[in-house]
Chain A
Amino acid sequence: SQTIHQWPATLVQPVGSPLSLECTVEGTSNPNLYWYRQAAGRGLQLLFYSVGIGQISSEVPQNLSASRPQDRQFILSSKKLLLSDSGFYLCAWSDRQRYNSPLHFGNGTRLTVT
């Protein structure tokens, strides 16, 4: 069966510091990968998605970037965090071999920028 891992689970970082969140998927090959952010009291917002190694599409201009160095690894980064970057970051995957594949989420990283 497929599993998705995100780490760390929680993170407290000062303004201006760098960020690196990692997500890996097991049990599948060549998945579509996504980064979402969930702000308190708000819905989920798509930040980035990737259909293959090195292929990244950005949905929202922002202080963040994403990379996919390996087929099942997706990284969310920032060079200098802002207070507004605080939130709950969720990685998700879908099966590119199935047109009707739903998205499956990891357990997220709660980021607090102080």
Chain B
Amino acid sequence: QKEVEQDPGPLSVPEGAIVSLNCTYSNSAFQYFMWYRQYSRKGPELLMYTYSSGNKEDGRFTAQVDKSSKYISLFIRDSQPSDSATYLCAMSELGGGTSYGKLTFGQGTILTVHP
């Protein structure tokens, strides 16, 4: 079993839809959770970062963490064609400011938002 499992997709939605992206994990020591967006041929861009259970909102994006179920989600409201990208969940036991902020990534979900 992989440490982090991410719904493979691909996912295709119409513009304006609400998108739900999900990851489950098996390592209960994970404390820091991130969502990255990666456009084709570019590096991952940090979207959301949280280290507590519950919801964190930033504009059209909401990150949700449920440590008891070992489950994290990213919701995108009013999706736009510019949201079309690969979304990667990532998590770590220690913060990146420590000597070893190693991230474990999901496989990524390809999202396409069509006009």
Question: Which residue of chain A has its CB nearest to the CB of B99?
Answer: A51
A-B contact number at CB 8 A: 77
Size class of the contact patch on chain A: 20 to 34
Interface of A (DSSP majority class): loop
Contacts of B101 in A (CB 8 A): 32, 49, 94, 101, 103
For A107, what are the chain B residues with a Cβ–Cβ distance below 8 Å?
42-43
* A100 and B100 within 8 A (CB): no
Considering the chains assembled together, what is the distance between the CA atoms of A99 and B97 in angstroms? 4
Residues of chain A within 8 A (CB-CB) of B42 are 107-108
Q: Are B95 and A99 touching (Cβ within 8 A)?
A: yes
Count of B residues near A, CB < 8 Å?
27
Within 8 A of A (CB), among B91-115: 95-103, 105-108
Is A96 close to B, CB under 8 A? yes
Contact of A98 with B44 in the complex, beta carbons under 8 Å: no
Chain B residues near A94 (CB-CB < 8 A) = 96-97, 101
Q: What are the interface flags for A96-114 relative to B under an 8 Å C-beta threshold, 1 for contact and 0 otherwise? A: 1111111111111010000
B44 surroundings in chain A (CB, below 8 A): 44, 90, 105
Which positions in B face A, CB cutoff 8 Å?
A: 4, 32, 34, 36, 41-46, 49, 51, 88, 90, 95-103, 105-108
Residues of A within 8 A of B (CB): 6, 32, 41-44, 46, 49, 51, 57, 59, 90, 94-108, 110
Q: Knowing that A6-B43, A98-B95, A103-B34 touch, tell me 18 more A-B residue pairs with CB under 8 angstroms.
A: A32-B96, A32-B101, A43-B108, A44-B88, A44-B90, A49-B102, A59-B102, A94-B97, A95-B97, A96-B97, A96-B99, A100-B96, A101-B96, A102-B46, A102-B49, A103-B103, A105-B43, A108-B42
